[in-house]
Structure formats: structure tokens, C-alpha cells
A and B are shown apart, each in its own frame.
Chain A
Amino acid sequence: MTRYRLYLVLIGMFVIGVSAVMTPMVSTAYALTAEEMLADPALENRARTLSKQLRCLVCQNQSIDDSDADLAKDLRREVRSQLVQGKTDAAILADLRAKYGDFVLLAPPMAKNTLALWLAPIGFLLLGIGITLGMRRRASGAAASAISAADRAQIEALKQHRKTTSKDGQP
């Protein structure tokens, strides 16, 4: 019984381990093909980093590094050809932004129209901290005075009532 269970755990661990190792291999093998890659590993590295920041405009929720769409392939090639020309990462991102707009960047840039987007999480965090502190203060402060005089009188009356009933020998 215990041996059987041990086997089960080992098989489970093996499956999880294999999938953890395989997943990144599978996803990279999917979109990027060997012939697209640059010979220079440093440039290729920069190309991969850039590709992960750029949105595939056809599939919209994938980066061009992940996507197998034709346009993603074209954009990957464009990024690499600009890298080979000696352009900086910032210049390449700026160039694609000028053609496709901010939407091509997976992380929205900090700007006037995205300020609410960037600041809202901080605002909500502060709001949450405020509410929590307020509730805790009220809980500790209110505990003592929560029972009113009328409540006290009622409690006394109930206690009295119980005493008299238990004297009578009732459960």
C-alpha cells in the first residue's frame, strides 16, 4: 500500500518535472525557426529580448516571440535586420511604435492617457491599507462600549431568569 503510494508520487513528480523542462523548449521551437536566428549570439539575445516586448498585432495577446503568425515572423525579421544595421534597442522599439502605435508594446508606456492605469494599483493598495487600519481601530475602540446600558439590563434579566429556572430543576 505504502509502496504503491510512493510509486504514484514518483510518477507524479516525473510528469511535473518533464513538463516543466519541456514547456519552454516546446514554445520556443514553435514560433522562432533556426533560419531566422542571427549568427551572433549577443545580437540574437537582444533580438529575443526585444521580441518578448513586442505585441503580435494579429493575435494581440501574444508577443512576436511566441506567435507563429505571419506578421509576427515579419516583425521578428525586421527587428533582426535593424539590429544588424547597428540600431539600439530603444531606436528599434521607437521605430515600430511610430508605425503601429503604443499598442505594439506589450507594456503600455507611462503617458498622460495611461497614468490612471499605472497609478490605480498603488491607489487601491493605499485604499485597502486605509480601510484595514480603520476597521482595526474601530474594532479595538468599539469593543468596550459596544454594549449599551439597555443591553446590560437585558443580560442581567436573562441571567436572573436562568437562575430561577435552574432552581426549579429544569434542564
Chain B
Amino acid sequence: MSGFRPTFFIPLIAFTVLAVIGGLALQGTLSGSRNPNQLPSVLIGKPAPDLPLPLLQNGQAELALSAYRGQAFLVNFFASWCAPCRAEAPALEQLSKQISIIGIAYKDRPQDTMKFLQQYGNPFVAIGRDDDGRAGMAWGVYGVPETYLIDASGQIKWRHAGPLTRDVITTQLLVQMAEIQ
């Protein structure tokens, strides 16, 4: 009977504001447009690390990314022991018709990598060996497969951690490729 008390509504208003903020924050995750486990790469816009790596087919020769400067290309970290890499093999095969892809075999044994390529196809113009994962570290790789788009000036334009799905390719990769070409 004490009449209208504005303080009575403060918890209600506070709750509503928090619920709206929480809802907005969740929206991206629920609709699938944002994956909280996907870490953004800090190397976007920076020159691609160019560690010399032994070539898979010929351990004497070295893979030098600088040799590919002047054109856009993809760098794909993969391994024979990685199941999602098998899943994305057809997508890479398809992409290799549009853009050069350089493969880096991440912490794999050369004979296993060879077997993997025989079984699932070889979409790569060149394959380097990152036996101890040190090159992966320089690129900020935290799990295979990971794919990087490098522009003609040798800068990292885009990165995707996880397998390249049809959705990722059409909504992200092809858009980025169109931008730099």
C-alpha cells in the first residue's frame, strides 16, 4: 500500500538488459556463423613465414615460398594421421583447378604422407615436410588441417583452421580470392 516504488523495477530492468546482451552474444554461435573455438590468426596481413623446408619427394631440395611470389596461392597443412584431412581432400582437388596449392606435411612420416597422397589424390604443386612441427608453429598452426591464402605480394590474406567445407569455400575462400585477383 506504499504506492509506486521505482526501485522495485531495478532488478527486472537489470535482468532484461543482461538477457538481451547475452542473447545477442549467443546469436552468432547458435546460427553457426561464429565458432568460439576458431581462433583468429594474428598473421593476417603479415608476410607469410618462409622457413626452408625439405621437399617430400626430394629431401635434398628445399621448398621456398618466395619462389611463388607474384601470384596468389594456398598453403595447406595436412597429415596422413589426420581424419579431417581425408574429408577435405576432394575439396582441395577441386580448388587446385583454380589456384596453386602448396602442401606442408605436418609431423608426418614421409612414407605415410606418400601413401596418403596415393590414396586420396595429390592436389599440391609442391609439398614441404614439417617433421617436428616447427614451421607450423611459425604459422600459428594449432591443429591440422589449416589452410592459408597468400596474396601476390606474399602476405597472408586469410586463414581457416579445420577442414575446408563447401560452406567455408563458397562463403569465405572464394570471396577472399575474388578480392585479391
Contact = CB atoms under 8 A, between A and B. Distances in A.
A and B: interacting chains? yes
Interface of A: 57-58, 60, 70-71, 74-75, 78, 97-101, 103
Contacts of A58: 142-143
A58 B40 CA distance: 14
B24 interface: no
B105 to A, nearest CB: 15
Given A74-B137, A97-B42, 5 more contacts: A57-B39, A60-B37, A74-B132, A74-B134, A103-B39
For the residues of B in contact with A, the DSSP-based class is loop
A101 B42 contact: yes
Contacts, number: 36
For the residues of A in contact with B, the DSSP-based class is helix
Contacts of A97: 42
A91 to B, nearest CB: 16
Nearest to B161: A57
B175 interface: no
Contacts of B39: 57, 100-101, 103
B136 to A, nearest CB: 8
B53 to A, nearest CB: 16
A99 B143 contact: no
Nearest to A78: B137
Given A99-B138, A99-B140, A101-B140, A74 B40 contact: no
Interface string B120-156: 0000000000001110011110110000000000000
B160 interface: no
A60 B43 CA distance: 19
Contacts of B140: 99-101
27 contacts: A57-B39, A57-B142, A57-B143, A60-B37, A70-B107, A71-B133, A71-B142, A71-B143, A74-B132, A74-B133, A75-B137, A78-B134, A97-B42, A98-B42, A99-B43, A99-B137, A99-B139, A99-B140, A100-B39, A100-B42, A100-B140, A100-B142, A101-B39, A101-B40, A101-B41, A101-B42, A103-B39
A150 B41 CA distance: 70
Contacts of A71: 133, 142-143
Contacts of A75: 137
Interface string B55-89: 00000000000000000000000000000000000
Contacts of B40: 101
A75 B39 CA distance: 17
Nearest to B142: A57
Contacts of B137: 74-75, 78, 99
Nearest to A100: B140
A60, A98, A99, A103 — most chain B CB neighbours (10 Å): A99
A99 B37 contact: no
A10 B133 CA distance: 51
Contacts of A60: 37
A101 B46 CA distance: 13
